[in-house]
Amino acid sequence: MVVPSLKLQDLIEEIRGAKTQAQEREVIQKECAHIRASFRDGDPVHRHRQLAKLLYVHMLGYPAHFGQMECLKLIASSRFTDKRVGYLGAMLLLDERHDAHLLITNSIKNDLSQGIQPVQGLALCTLSTMGSAEMCRDLAPEVEKLLLQPSPYVRKKAILTAVHMIRKVPELSSVFLPPCAQLLHERHHGILLGTITLITELCERSPAALRHFRKVQILRLLRILGRNHEESSETMNDLLAQVATNTDTSRNAGNAVLFETVLTIMDIRSAAGLRVLAVNILGRFLLNSDRNIRYVALTSLLRLVQSDHSAVQRHRPTVVECLRETDASLSRRALELSLALVNSSNVRAMMQELQAFLESCPPDLRADCASGILLAAERFAPTKRWHIDTILHVLTTAGTHVRDDAVANLTQLIGGAQELHAYSVRRLYNALAEDISQQPLVQVAAWCIGEYGDLLLAGNCEEIEPLQVDEEEVLALLEKVLQSHMSLPATRGYALTALMKLSTRLCGDNNRIRQVVSIYGSCLDVELQQRAVEYDTLFRKYDHMRAAILEKMPLVERDGPQADEEAKESKEAAQLSEAAPVPTEPQASQLLDLLDLLDGASGDVQHPPPLDPSPGGALIHLLDLPCVPPPPAPIPDLKVFEREGVQLNLSFIRPPENPALLLITVTATNFSEGDVTHFICQAAVPKAPLRLKLRLTYDHFHQSVQEIFEVNNLPVESWQ
Amino acid sequence: MQFMLLFSRQGKLRLQKWYVPLSDKEKKKITRELVQTVLARKPKMCSFLEWRDLKIVYKRYASLYFCCAIEDQDNELITLEIIHRYVELLDKYFGSVCELDIIFNFEKAYFILDEFLLGGEVQETSKKNVLKAIEQADLLQEDSKPRSTRLHSCVKS
């Protein structure tokens, strides 16, 4: 005896009546148990109802895989009710991944050839929704037969099923190409529509099919046909122009057709006049009150801006208006388009608009807007001063969103414009005095104040109101930056170096600066500590060299970031060699000896990565390469050697612009009373796994020391 | 069209039609993410958004969101028309359709959709033809009911 089961609608009511998620789960689990039992018992009468219920709970997210085989049974049944639900189940529960899906191929084949239209419809629908490549191959002949059947209902479905089959199995194109010519002559809209889709699909896949369909006058097809084909394009020009002007745009459908026309014009090789027509249609769309239409207009204009620049330029004012859109996806499009429209003649006006936008735009657009403005400024800046002002404005408005190289770019720009040094340092000082939180701005300002502090104090500059700044104020500001918890370590490095440079630019005594420098000698941040110690040493032991080392940067011509880096580095290297000997010897060309250290486990001979074992080599820091902000997750330092007060530390950095690179700095420190002389440190790095072999030789306490050891415990973070 | 989803304002799925093969897990993930994204949109925003490498076209009718994913070369404005036409078909069939109709008769909603779109493409532009086809199929379903039930209902009336 079969227990009467719940009707579908009753189950739905019960589920909806559940007050909590847990309750709902309970109801469903109970019902699923019934359904499972019913499936096991093989009850044919209620099977369709059980599956329907299962499909409902499946939509709510519950598992329904045990219904898959039931779909097959229902499809094979002769009752239409069964087939309807069975096919629906197949479309929802079966897919290519399950082997079970192939089992319905036979049923579909039968249903396709048995002549009851709704049943054929179901089969075709299912095939076109979830038919896998194998199924399509198997059933292609059946579908082909149906293409030329009398019933339009079946034919239109067969045609679209053919489209799906070609997408799955492109070789089937040859099967479905021949019937197309005949199908095109049909009157029935559904058939024509399907045929055009089919032809479109065929032509997209094979240029050979193009030959057959020259004179078809349907828009979407035109687009494909006209692609790269001169003759067809000419025929279409008039037609498209007609369609464009005669379409009624009072309803969305009309606009959709017009839009399709525009898309077609964009894709084929149209005459220039036609393209201008397309741009103008889009321009009109921009003024439409429906924001969907404005959106598609902006998107399409973006595609056209490169090829039809002057035509799009005519609509610039409207585009700029769209920056004020409240909808973020529209304003983003408007931003991209506006940036693409900037040229040397409109740069000032456009920049004004864009900078106003930057101040009020949503946060996720800030970064793009800022870098867009900076890029455009670089390409089209009318004067250097305008350029500096623009960058300054961006840094103050959206400082945290600019790219890392903005700092380097600005310092180079300023450095290269001698006539603007006074102006720049003044403006930057004012900006810094107001706000020390925006890191890129602070870094540039600190650098500038360090370099041109003397100009700042000189007091006169025609372009800004005269500003009286005294030394103490400047030092106080830099100290504030140094101490602020908002300052990144890199920023503090800039500030410290700037303070140091001021020791030669300012007239007063340097006690204040010396104090700061010596305080930071015990700073926890290794980088800062190192600098401070070096600067302190400069004061104490090498004061005679201080002025030379802290000289102003030579003017660099901006012919490209790479060239500048190299130019700077070579100048620094030249100055380095003038440096007095420090208590270690720089690592000479002893690469060959280093290879001895490798134990031969890694077969091939590799040159070790450049290391910096001697504190002397770290003089480079004094001369201030544009500082790259440190990587987000600092790798912990490692102490690798200690003997009688001589210590060796490793610190690790991944440069942000090249995260695949790992820079290891070896710092040797002598805490003992006795001097260390003739210090030589050599290192070898076998490629994998990452470890370090070090050899030290030095004289200490009148003894020659030689140590060879391996560092195996490199921190995990350095491995990636 | 790659897929169409119907969901309520609380994010409950009411219909899912997939025209591309994806695993159940992927479908669930996509559904979850997309529903979240669309529900987060403010009322005044435009009906199009870019999501992964697809274009999403959505429109809200009363308490239901109709959401379609189309490919790059498809026309967004036409897709809006397609959604509207589907709603019109549902409306005609159910007579002033509301979300409850679609909940309690979800299979019918699928059947209607399957007479309008096939394999992700429009198969029939005439509303009349679509509704006629559904009518015929419904009749066939009536005819195929087992004799006993039909007799039973006759006796009752």
| Complex ipTM value | 0.90
Distance CA B15, CA A59 (A): 7
Query: Closest Cα of chain B to A279: distance in Å?
Result: 17
Contacts of A194 in chain B (CB under 8 A): 121, 123
Fold that domain B3-156 belongs to in CATH: Beta-Lactamase (3.30.450)
Contacts of B118 in chain A (CB under 8 A): 124-125, 128-129, 157, 160-161
Measured in residues, chain B has a length of 157
- Residue B116 is predicted with a pLDDT of 94
Q: Give this prediction's pTM.
A: 0.63
CB contact under 8 A, B21 and A132: yes
Q: What is the DSSP letter of A150?
A: S
CB contact under 8 A, A59 and B14: yes
Nearest to B80 among A16, A88, A292 (CB): A292
Whether the CB of A84 is below 8 Å from some CB of chain B: the reply is: yes
Interface test with A, best of B71, B118, B142, B152 (most A CBs within 10 A): B118
Interface test with B, best of A102, A197, A218, A289 (most B CBs within 10 A): A197
Domain boundaries, chain B: 3-156
CB contact under 8 A, A45 and B146: yes
A330 → chain B, closest CA residue = B46
How many contacts (CB atoms, under 8 Å) link A and B? 137
Joined tokens for residue A610 = 């450049």
> What is the edge-to-edge ordering of all strands in the sheet holding B64-70?
B13-18, B3-8, B64-70, B54-61, B48-51
Angle at B156 between CA B154 and CA B157, to 5 degrees: 70
The closest of A321, A311, A371, A316 to A342, measured between CA atoms, is A316
B104 → chain A, closest CA residue = A9
Cβ atoms A615, A582 nearer than 8 A: yes
Distance CA B67, CA B76 (A): 12
Stretch 185-204 of chain A: residues touching chain B, C-beta under 8 Å: 189-190, 193-194, 197
Contacts of B106 in chain A (CB under 8 A): 55-56, 59
Contacts of B119 in chain A (CB under 8 A): 128-129, 160-161, 163-164
Nearest to A190 among B110, B123, B145 (CB): B123
**pLDDT tens-digit series, residues A135-155:** 999 999 999 999 888 888 999
Average pLDDT of chain B? 88
Multiple choice CATH, A383-550, 1.10.10, 2.40.440, 1.25.10, 1.10.1740: 1.25.10
Whether the CB of A80 is below 8 Å from some CB of chain B: the reply is: yes
Whether the CB of B136 is below 8 Å from some CB of chain A: the reply is: yes
B43 → chain A, closest CA residue = A327
**Sign of torsion over alpha carbons A239, A242, A245, A248:** negative
Burial class of residue A245 (count of CB atoms within 10 Å of its CB; 0-12, 13-18, 19+): exposed
- Residue A701 is predicted with a pLDDT of 82
CB contact under 8 A, B133 and A118: yes
Query: Closest Cα of chain A to B152: distance in Å?
Result: 16
Number of H helices, E strands in chain B: 6, 7
CB contact under 8 A, A156 and B23: no
CB contact under 8 A, B104 and A60: no
CB contact under 8 A, B78 and A260: yes
The closest of B5, B78, B94, B137 to A120, measured between CA atoms, is B137
Domain boundaries, chain A: 383-550, 638-712
Cβ atoms B64, B14 nearer than 8 A: yes
Distance CA A219, CA A278 (A): 14
SS3 content of chain B, % helix, strand, coil (to 5): 50, 20, 25
Whether the CB of B126 is below 8 Å from some CB of chain A: the reply is: yes
Whether the CB of A56 is below 8 Å from some CB of chain B: the reply is: yes
Terminal Cα-to-Cα distance of chain B (whole angstroms): 46
Contacts of A129 in chain B (CB under 8 A): 17-19, 118-119
Distance CA A620, CA A624 (A): 7
Question: H helices within B14-98, ranges in order?
Answer: 24-39, 76-94
Supply φ then ψ for residue A582, to 5 degrees. -105, 165
CB contact under 8 A, B77 and A292: yes
Residues contacting A364, CB < 8 A, separation 6+: A328
Residues contacting A369, CB < 8 A, separation 6+: A335, A354, A357, A358, A361, A398
Distance CA A24, CA A30 (A): 10
Is pLDDT at B157 greater than 50 in this prediction? no
Cβ atoms A365, A328 nearer than 8 A: yes
CB contact under 8 A, A84 and B118: no
Nearest to A256 among B17, B81, B110 (CB): B81
Stretch 568-587 of chain A: residues touching chain B, C-beta under 8 Å: none
- Residue A90 is predicted with a pLDDT of 93
- Residue B61 is predicted with a pLDDT of 94
A296 → chain B, closest CA residue = B76
Rounded to whole angstroms, what are the CA distances from A612 to A348, A527, A694? Answer: 47, 14, 13
Rounded to whole angstroms, what are the CA distances from B107 to A604, B102, B110? Answer: 68, 8, 5
Stretch 10-69 of chain B: residues touching chain A, C-beta under 8 Å: 12-19, 21-23, 28, 42, 44-50
The closest of A14, A51, A13 to A30, measured between CA atoms, is A14
Whether the CB of A348 is below 8 Å from some CB of chain B: the reply is: no
B32 → chain A, closest CA residue = A61
Number of H helices, E strands in chain A: 33, 6
CB contact under 8 A, A161 and B107: no
Q: Which residues of chain A have pLDDT under 50?
A: 1, 211-217, 228, 560-631
Amino acid at A284: R
Measured in residues, chain A has a length of 720
Contacts of B125 in chain A (CB under 8 A): 189-190, 193
Cβ atoms A332, A365 nearer than 8 A: yes
CB contact under 8 A, B119 and A161: yes
Whether the CB of A60 is below 8 Å from some CB of chain B: the reply is: yes
Nearest to A160 among B45, B46, B118 (CB): B118
Query: Closest Cα of chain B to A124: distance in Å?
Result: 9
Whether the CB of B127 is below 8 Å from some CB of chain A: the reply is: no
Distance CA A488, CA A482 (A): 9
